[in-house]
A and B are shown apart, each in its own frame.
Chain A
Amino acid sequence: MKKSFAARTAFGLGLLLGSGSALAATTLTIGTVNNGDMVRMQALSKTYTEQHPDVELRWVVLEENTLRQRLTTDITTGGGQFDIITIGAYEAPMWGRKNWILPLEKFSPTYDVDDLMPNVRKQLSVDGKLRALPFYSEGSITYYRTDLFAAKGLKMPEEPTWTEIRGFAEKLHDPSKNVYGICLRGKAGWGENMALVTTIVNAYGGRWFDEKWQPQLDSPEWSQAVNFYVDLLSKFGPPGPSSNGFNENLTLFNAGKCAMWVDASVAGAFVTDKTQSQVPDKVGFVKAPRQVTPKGSSWLWTWALAVPSSSKQQQAAFDFIQWATSKEYANLVAKRYGISAMPPGTRLSTYANAEYMKATPFARVTQEAIQTANPDSPTLKPVPYTGVQFATIPEFQAIGTLVGKSISGALAGSSKVDAELKKLNESVQRTIKRAGYIK
């Protein structure tokens, strides 16, 4: 009896000590998106933990919408599950204003804050103070197949208009050969089809709200833009476009089925990657299409890392996000995955690097798209909100979701665009009134 008790005690102590030695001093829980670049970060983080043996990283990697739901419910209810969160340009300023995420100052001397792109910094700051650090940024650009254009004797201008794009799509559309004139986002969602549709509306001179917060969905600009988009995509797009988002279109383009594609500049690295694209050397890159104005015709989106105020390990978390958004990290990616894979759109030094510019055919277009998209003055006519393809207000998620659903329905042919826009305008007005923007 006695012996067994001693044995048991020893065994228990052994367990405690054994597990104790395996426990790191600090465990950081990181919530992030399952995009290619973030998955790379997870793989490369071993380098960080080798330098910081006392830090252990726990990764929660989820699909974008699911992650947004998890993070939002956790942050807004003060759950405190996460030490580091991956958020977008939409959440960063709003959550910062509410002090749900920490203001970031006292950077390490090697970080070089002034090297971050001004527009990107603006997107992530509240009153001039950074609230999140940019992991990568993207604008929207036009991808086109140089071989198909050459075969038909067409020439893509540096700054095409949507009307020109339609002309090309008509000439290149050949479903019998499994080539569609143009691939565009049709899947409902404020960050899916509405990102693209808003840039088309902007190009047509439209806007979400006027200076008095009156929604503008029943304006002639919206009608022209949305009718144009639905007509273009249903006539010269792939079958069933209402279920295609970024990833579905990327798959189509990489399989050689799209003559043109207007989408995030971050796809440049994927369409030119020999391991996943069948047309890596046949892709050309120009600016996103304009129409009556170039203003707001290319979106601006940044994925960034932030530290929630509810985190207990703020210093350690801050240290990690500096590492993950540093020049040192970018060089690590270049070494491991090739120079074109460096996180795009965040640092001036990346675009001052001659080697990168030479190796990366989409670098210049990406840089221009990000430099010209101005979230503070996104549209031709003045607006009361900031943000190019979204309005940085808490209600926008609901509004964008609703409008996105209707437009994808119109694309599937279940409704008429103009009647739908009138109805939407009323719903948006209701939401905005209820939130107290319109007195």
Chain B
Amino acid sequence: MSEAARESRRAGRLTASPAILLLFIWMIVPLAFTVYFSTQNYLLLDPENRGFAGLENFSYFLSSSSFLNSLVTTLELVGSVLVITVVLGVLISVLVDAKFPGQGVVRMLLISPFFIMPTVSALIWKNLLMNPVSGLFAWLFQLVGLTPINWFSDWPLLSIIIIVSWEWLPFAILIFVTSLQSMDQEQKEAAQMDGATPVSIFRYLTLPHLARPIAVVVMVEAIFLLNIFAEIFTTTSGGPGDATTNVPYLVFTQALLEFDVGTASAGGLVAVVLANLVAAALLRVFGKSLTQA
């Protein structure tokens, strides 16, 4: 490297450093506070008894029966939504990739749910669609003479999965449709000339082409889905029982329903570790298709 290049790189680092430092402070101060609180016995309602607790908050959080249950719930939620959005996303994208009249409008409509706030869409699903007495689904069931399903008490987690999938499907479709547009048309035509069926074109040309976007969708969605909160808060409040309590919701109950700052901070750190574990695991599985050109 020449002297000039080194010089300009140093200048670049120097000029970027304030921004990086600010971002670092932005991240490290809350994290440091959380770490500090997690080692304290700190009930908001009983502040006199504050003191050093060592790792007691962690053992308390990790050994509670709610934690294991919330961990399983979190993974079920993330896993199901990922499968649903990727599978349906790919199929729908391939479907709207072919030319047909009104294609633009259809694509617009497919993507629109992504721009609705999570609380709003959860409330719409809860009150207008899934309500067992006055919801649209109940009305449809009654039309054909069936008893309406009591969604949130009989199938609580499934209901949440449906709502969240509906919110995230547009994101997957957006990525896949864009990626399909860059697909090599000549190759596809050549395959058709050789008498390949649409199914085998999909299997041997489209899917490999979509490998990287699928990896992107899985990675990005997983990070967001680990933190699903608003949909649970507005529909089931984590119930009935513990059926829809995921890790973020459990931390919320510790912090704001039980006012236990110490345990909630410990739980927050556990959630951070969990997110990193999931991200690392996904990177191992999907990382290859991200790095391969």
Residues of A within 8 A of B (CB): 65, 69, 72-73, 76-77, 94, 98, 188, 239-240, 242-243, 394-395, 397-398, 401-402, 405-406, 408-415, 423, 427, 430, 434-436
Is A240 a contact partner of B238 (Cβ separation < 8 A)? no
Interchain residue pairs A-B with the least CB separation, the first 8: A409-B241, A398-B258, A412-B240, A394-B45, A76-B44, A394-B46, A242-B240, A412-B153
Is B132 a contact partner of A242 (Cβ separation < 8 A)? no
Most chain A beta-carbon neighbours within 10 Å: one of B46, B64, B257: B257
Report the Cα distance A409→B245, complex, angstroms. 12
A31 → B minimal CB distance (Å): 16
Known: A239-B132, A412-B153. A397 touches B45 (CB 8 A): yes
Residues from chain A with Cβ under 8 Å of B64 in the complex: 427, 430
Within 8 Å by CB of A414, from B65, B133, B240, lies: B240
Within 8 Å by CB of A72, from B66, B253, B259, lies: B259
Which DSSP category, helix, strand, loop or mixed, fits chain A's interface? helix
Known: A76-B47, A240-B132, A240-B153. A401 touches B257 (CB 8 A): yes
Is B237 a contact partner of A188 (Cβ separation < 8 A)? yes
Is A76 a contact partner of B259 (Cβ separation < 8 A)? yes
Q: B152 on the interface (CB 8 Å rule)? A: yes
A46 → B minimal CB distance (Å): 33
Within 8 Å by CB of A188, from B48, B66, B239, lies: B239
List 24 A-B residue pairs with CB atoms under 8 Å apart, sorted by A's residue number.
Answer: A65-B257, A69-B256, A72-B259, A76-B45, A76-B259, A98-B48, A239-B150, A240-B153, A242-B239, A394-B43, A394-B46, A401-B253, A401-B258, A402-B66, A406-B241, A409-B239, A409-B240, A411-B240, A412-B241, A414-B240, A427-B65, A430-B64, A434-B60, A436-B49
B54 → A minimal CB distance (Å): 13
Is A188 a contact partner of B258 (Cβ separation < 8 A)? no
Is A408 a contact partner of B259 (Cβ separation < 8 A)? no
Interface residues of B in 20-57 (CB under 8 A from A): 43-49, 56
User: CB-nearest residue of chain B relative to A397?
Assistant: B258
Report the Cα distance A430→B243, complex, angstroms. 22
Report the Cα distance A95→B132, complex, angstroms. 42
Interface residues of B in 116-144 (CB under 8 A from A): 132-133
Most chain A beta-carbon neighbours within 10 Å: one of B237, B239, B258: B239
Q: B76 on the interface (CB 8 Å rule)? A: no
Known: A239-B150, A394-B46. A409 touches B132 (CB 8 A): no
Report the Cα distance A430→B242, complex, angstroms. 19
User: CB-nearest residue of chain A relative to B237?
Assistant: A188
User: CB-nearest residue of chain B relative to A396?
Assistant: B45
Known: A397-B258, A411-B240. A242 touches B153 (CB 8 A): yes
Q: B231 on the interface (CB 8 Å rule)? A: no
Residues from chain A with Cβ under 8 Å of B167 in the complex: none
Residues of B within 8 A of A (CB): 43-49, 56, 60, 64-66, 132-133, 150, 152-154, 156, 237-243, 253, 256-260
Report the Cα distance A43→B209, complex, angstroms. 65
Residues from chain B with Cβ under 8 Å of A405 in the complex: 238-239, 241-242
Residues from chain B with Cβ under 8 Å of A73 in the complex: 44, 256, 259
User: CB-nearest residue of chain B relative to A409?
Assistant: B241
Is A397 a contact partner of B65 (Cβ separation < 8 A)? no
Most chain A beta-carbon neighbours within 10 Å: one of B45, B154, B242: B45
Report the Cα distance A423→B63, complex, angstroms. 13
Report the Cα distance A242→B132, complex, angstroms. 13
Report the Cα distance A77→B47, complex, angstroms. 9
Is B238 a contact partner of A397 (Cβ separation < 8 A)? no
B222 → A minimal CB distance (Å): 27
Residues from chain A with Cβ under 8 Å of B259 in the complex: 72-73, 76, 394, 397-398
Within 8 Å by CB of A243, from B44, B60, B65, B153, lies: B153
User: CB-nearest residue of chain B relative to A407?
Assistant: B241
Is A408 a contact partner of B239 (Cβ separation < 8 A)? yes
Given A98-B47, A188-B240, A409-B241, 5 new contacts (CB under 8 A): A65-B257, A239-B132, A239-B150, A405-B241, A409-B240
Report the Cα distance A401→B252, complex, angstroms. 13
Report the Cα distance A430→B260, complex, angstroms. 14
Known: A76-B259, A242-B153, A397-B259. A414 touches B241 (CB 8 A): yes
Report the Cα distance A433→B237, complex, angstroms. 28
A89 → B minimal CB distance (Å): 15
Residues from chain B with Cβ under 8 Å of A240 in the complex: 132, 150, 152-153
Within 8 Å by CB of B44, from A72, A423, A430, lies: A72
Residues from chain A with Cβ under 8 Å of B44 in the complex: 72-73, 76-77
Report the Cα distance A308→B237, complex, angstroms. 30
User: CB-nearest residue of chain A relative to B45?
Assistant: A394
Report the Cα distance A434→B259, complex, angstroms. 15
Residues from chain B with Cβ under 8 Å of A412 in the complex: 153-154, 156, 239-241, 243
Residues from chain A with Cβ under 8 Å of B133 in the complex: 239
Report the Cα distance A408→B238, complex, angstroms. 11
Residues from chain B with Cβ under 8 Å of A414 in the complex: 240-241, 243
Report the Cα distance A410→B242, complex, angstroms. 10
Residues from chain A with Cβ under 8 Å of B150 in the complex: 239-240
Residues from chain B with Cβ under 8 Å of A398 in the complex: 257-260
Residues from chain A with Cβ under 8 Å of B258 in the complex: 397-398, 401
User: CB-nearest residue of chain B relative to A78?
Assistant: B47
Residues from chain B with Cβ under 8 Å of A401 in the complex: 253, 257-258
Residues from chain B with Cβ under 8 Å of A409 in the complex: 239-243
User: CB-nearest residue of chain A relative to B253?
Assistant: A401
Residues from chain B with Cβ under 8 Å of A413 in the complex: 154
B72 → A minimal CB distance (Å): 14
User: CB-nearest residue of chain A relative to B46?
Assistant: A394
Report the Cα distance A163→B157, complex, angstroms. 35
Residues from chain A with Cβ under 8 Å of B60 in the complex: 430, 434
Known: A412-B153, A415-B241. A94 touches B65 (CB 8 A): no
User: CB-nearest residue of chain A relative to B60?
Assistant: A434
Residues from chain B with Cβ under 8 Å of A430 in the complex: 60, 64
Residues from chain B with Cβ under 8 Å of A65 in the complex: 257
B159 → A minimal CB distance (Å): 12
A44 → B minimal CB distance (Å): 32
Report the Cα distance A89→B49, complex, angstroms. 23
Residues from chain A with Cβ under 8 Å of B241 in the complex: 405-406, 408-410, 412, 414-415
Report the Cα distance A208→B153, complex, angstroms. 28
Report the Cα distance A72→B256, complex, angstroms. 9
Residues from chain A with Cβ under 8 Å of B257 in the complex: 65, 69, 397-398, 401
